[in-house]
A and B are shown apart, each in its own frame.
Chain A
């Protein structure tokens, strides 16, 4: 094998994927070439170290986290996680909904306060300020006649 071994071939040899003449060729070359042997040893060490130290242990107890999450699956609404309300997008969304509800509530309240109340209005021909039917009859009696009470609906 002239020159040096290609890195992909070294990687395949390390994984035990070479067979037959290819494998024998790589082995023969490694026995003769110090440069490739060093590269191969370094590659093997690197891969071993990655396998040994590369895993990130999940810092949560499965029975405390995912298990709870699953048993409380009703709380899952397409992206809300169980451990908290940490996603800014959800927080912003909820704040937006609350703010909108508050503004709408205030606007409706003000509109209702300003709008005249629908119903029946009591009007008397001769008495300017009639509030109740009782007032009207009393005023009517005082004026001495049955006429004058008008009920206006709107």
Chain B
């Protein structure tokens, strides 16, 4: 059975930031169970794209559909459907890890037993038990990334948006992150993650999109050929630089 619409659809999305085009006429779709890696050099428009998908930024033009509905007219769709880990995992420094999880669960509409269960399972899954009473402000960057990921996963979203999720994680934590991403996709969630690390993309993604200067330059399934992806990426990145010069 084919579903009538993709879980996420971007249609001719444009966005300016700081007076210059950050994302230009971007169109892409993402289906349930897919893991899309969004690649690009710094300033390519990855974080802006993800912030728009997460509902934190409004496109200047174009349309974003979540589960077939226009996100601009149904912003509350984000509540149960979407989990977002922004770059650098922002947090409230005066709250503990447990208070963060509880606050995020409440913001996502979880209550009483559901909230407790969601927190407990996420704590166990991301091995946050030793950190529960610690203030978020004193966590290391890697621990904050794990906390941010936990907050994004708490309510079992159907679309997981991860901005540089492997930042500051050690190799063991990176392996755990990859496992979580694969489990989410296996459970039917769509995952979109941005990174500038090619190895990260080839390790977990089944599709890759390359952004350069706000434009989508490449969108194809990954065949596991790391060298071919590297060649494509550098060609786009270097050509873009040549054109800009």
Q: Do A and B come from one complex?
A: no
